[in-house]
């Protein structure tokens, strides 16, 4: 018999009760039409394999490196944001692209695939807090501020892949390009060949790290535009003097790594080499031995000497997988207080099974679509990126 007084009750603040079965609907995040299999279903692996086999060549599954192992197991290809964008465009035979990653990646896949292909995101709650930090009306307001300061015509917008399709379209319309963490240097070089200044959105850290550490600009060449302040919190003189206008956005995972943790790990683990993602702060990146996108971090560890020791500053799913896959190297996670990316982790095996079984039964679910005008201009910005020389990285 259950004690009713101890039963968790549904609450308008259900998020506070996540994991206690108080409000199963909220815990799912976003409603899945039909039934989402419980995580405890022992047949999930077999169900995913069977649904994938039923779909055959009609489905192509892309998996970002930050996805859970249980999901990565079913990916036809894994990659960083750049590689996944290329791969989405490279499979015109697949009717369905199931994107195991986050919303902005699935939007880009929809833009880069043909009209006859459908892109599916297994859980609509898989967003990105960084992408949400730049809203299109704020970016348009920022451009007006630059116009009033008389600098818009010499400014080239460059947006990180981690942004909404609307921001990519704004960038395309205004002569700019998309970049990813693996080609940010080439994108900035391209932009500075076209104009005198860059408006970099939405990750201030990737923008600053690339401008200062890769292009040799100074920290004083960079200013931060705060969309919550009138005029971005900058004077006209500051805008005129700046070379890099950095949007005040960041990754809620990578911004938590600290230079102190690098100092600590160097003291505790003799001979350790530290590699971090360029979404980390300037202080962290400057204190590390190497920096790179997820793809670069993987290749650096794969090619490292057996017996070498590494502290890695990026999302935990990837670091755990690297530690499992490279038992001949000692791999530690750089910062104890950093967790998984909550939104990447929304895609789990139950959602993948639900999406694949729905598609195999003829039900198109969780389709990601971008309206034609936005898609056109976003594609202009994406194509400018894809035309740049291949990804470049610093691993010194
Ligand atoms: P990359 O895979 O391009 O390094 O991106 C990291 C990231 O934060 C994706 O959300
Ligand atoms: Fe967004 Fe950071 Fe998560 Fe990547 S790791 S999806 S940038 S919050």
pLDDT tens digits, one per residue of 113-136 = 999 999 999 999 999 999 999 999
Could you tell me if residue 4 is inside a domain?
Answer: no
Cα–Cα distances in angstroms (integers) from residue 396 to residues 18, 208, 275, 310, in the given order = 43, 18, 10, 14
Q: H helices within 195-258, ranges in order?
A: 204-209, 236-241
| pTM higher than 0.75 | yes
CATH code (residue 358): 3.40.50.10800
Name the β-bridge partners of 155.
197
Q: Which of 202, 319, 343 best tests ligand 2's pocket when mutated (most atoms within 8 Å of CB)?
A: 343
Report residue 82's pLDDT band, with 50, 70 and 90 as the boundaries: confident
**With bands split at pLDDT 50, 70 and 90, how would you rate the model's confidence at 391?**
low
Q: How far is the CA of 205 from the centre of ligand 2 (A)?
A: 13
Q: Is residue 70 part of a domain?
A: yes
Same domain? 85 vs 136: no
CA torsion angle for 28, 34, 40, 41 (degrees, to 10)?
-160
Answer yes or no: do 232 and 279 share one domain: no
| 147 and 115, same domain (yes or no) | no
Q: For the segment 2-20, what is each residue's pLDDT rounded down to a tens digit? A: 444 444 444 444 444 444 4
Ligand 2 — pocket residues by CB below 6 A?
Answer: 66, 102, 128-130, 162, 251-253, 315, 341, 343-344
Residue 392 lies in a domain: no
* pLDDT of 30: 64
Question: Which residue's alpha carbon is at the smallest distance from atom 3 of ligand 1?
Answer: 81
Do the beta carbons of residue 389 and residue 125 sit within 8 Å?
Answer: no
pLDDT at 172 over 50: yes
Check whether residue 148 and residue 191 sit in a common domain: yes
Q: How confident is the model at residue 32 (pLDDT cuts 50, 70, 90)?
A: confident
If you measure from the C-alpha of residue 80 to the centroid of ligand 1, how many angstroms do you get, rounded to a whole number?
6
Residues 320, 43 contacting (CB under 8 angstroms): no
Q: Is the CB of 87 under 6 A from ligand 1?
A: no
User: For the segment 280-336, what is each residue's pLDDT rounded down to a tens digit?
Assistant: 999 999 999 999 999 999 999 999 999 999 999 999 999 999 999 999 999 999 998
Q: In this structure, is residue 185 part of a structural domain?
A: yes
Asked if residue 150 is part of any domain, the answer here is yes
Distance, in Å, from the CA atom of 312 to the CA atom of 172, rounded to the nearest integer, reads: 34
> Residues 341-370: what's their mean pLDDT?
97
- Which ligand lies nearest the alpha carbon of 255? 2
Least confident of 13-27, 77-91, 340-354: 13-27
User: Does residue 12 form part of some domain?
Assistant: no
Are residue 148 and residue 118 in the same domain, yes or no? no
Sequence-ordered alpha helix ranges (H) in the chain: 24-27, 44-55, 69-72, 81-89, 103-112, 136-148, 165-173, 184-194, 204-209, 236-241, 259-268, 282-287, 294-303, 316-325, 349-360, 372-386
Pairwise CA distance, residues 261 & 281, whole Å: 13
CA angle 171, 128, 175 (to 5 degrees): 5
Distance set, CA 260 to CA 74, 80, 266, 284, 286 (Å): 38, 27, 10, 8, 12
Same domain, 378 and 236: yes
Distance (angstroms) between ligand 2 centre and the Cα of 54 equals 32
pLDDT of residue 86: 86
Task: Please indicate whether residue 183, judged by its CB atom, sits closer than 6 Å to ligand 1.
Answer: no
Q: Is 342 left (phi over 0), alpha (psi -120 to 50) or beta?
A: alpha
315 close to ligand 1 (CB < 6 Angstrom)? no
pLDDT at residue number 72: 98
Query: What pLDDT digit, counting tens, does each position of 218-261 carry?
Result: 999 999 999 999 999 999 999 999 999 999 999 999 999 999 99
Q: Which ligand is nearest to the CA of 63?
A: 1
The answer to whether residues 33 and 121 belong to one domain is: yes
pLDDT surpassing 60 at residue 26: no
Nearest atom in ligand 1 to 293's CA? 4
Question: How many domains does the chain contain in total?
Answer: 3
pLDDT of 58 > 60? The answer is: yes
Q: What are phi and psi of 96, to 5 degrees?
A: -120, 130
Domain identity same for 226 and 136: yes
Question: Diameter of the chain by CA atoms?
Answer: 73
The verdict on 67 and 205 lying in the same domain is: no
Q: Quick check: is 16 in a domain?
A: no
Domain that holds residue 237: 131-251+374-386
């Amino acid at each position: 018999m259950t004690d009713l007084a101890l039963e968790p009750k549904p609450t308008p603040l259900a998020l506070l009760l996540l994991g206690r079965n108080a409000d199963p609907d909220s815990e799912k995040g976003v409603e899945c039409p039909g039934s989402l299999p419980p995580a405890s279903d022992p047949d999930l692996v077999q169900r995913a394999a069977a649904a994938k086999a039923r779909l055959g060549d009609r489905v192509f599954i892309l998996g970002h490196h930050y996805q859970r192992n249980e999901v990565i197991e079913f990916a036809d290809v894994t990659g960083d944001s750049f590689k996944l964008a290329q791969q989405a465009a490279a499979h015109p035979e697949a009717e369905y692209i199931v994107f195991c990653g986050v919303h902005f990646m699935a939007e880009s896949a929809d833009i880069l695939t043909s009209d006859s292909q459908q892109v599916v995101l297994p859980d609509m709650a898989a967003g990105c807090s960084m992408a949400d930090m730049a809203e299109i009306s704020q970016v348009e307001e920022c451009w007006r501020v630059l116009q009033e300061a008389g600098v818009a015509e010499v400014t080239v917008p460059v947006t990180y892949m981690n942004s909404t399709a609307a921001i990519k379209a704004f960038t395309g319309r205004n002569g700019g390009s998309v970049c990813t963490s693996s080609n940010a240097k080439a994108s900035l070089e391209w932009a500075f060949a076209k104009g005198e200044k860059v408006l970099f959105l939405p990750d201030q850290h990737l923008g600053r790290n690339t401008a200062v550490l890769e292009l040799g600009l100074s920290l004083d060449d960079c200013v931060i535009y705060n969309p919550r302040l009138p005029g971005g919190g900058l004077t006209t003189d500051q805008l005129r003097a700046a070379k890099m206008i950095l949007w005040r956005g960041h990754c809620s995972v990578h911004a938590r790594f600290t230079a102190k943790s690098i100092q600590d790990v160097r003291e505790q683990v003799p001979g350790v080499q530290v590699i971090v993602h360029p979404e980390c702060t300037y202080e962290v990146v400057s204190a590390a031995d190497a920096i790179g996108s997820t793809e670069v971090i993987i290749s650096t560890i794969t090619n490292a000497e057996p017996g070498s020791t590494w502290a890695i500053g990026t999302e935990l799913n990837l670091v755990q997988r690297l530690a499992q896959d490279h038992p001949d190297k000692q791999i530690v996670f750089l910062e104890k207080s950093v967790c998984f990316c909550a939104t990447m982790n929304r895609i789990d095996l139950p959602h993948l099974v639900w999406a694949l079984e729905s598609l195999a039964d003829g039900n198109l679910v969780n389709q990601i679509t971008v309206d034609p005008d936005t898609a056109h201009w976003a594609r202009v910005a994406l194509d400018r990126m894809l035309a740049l020389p291949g990804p470049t990285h610093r691993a010194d």
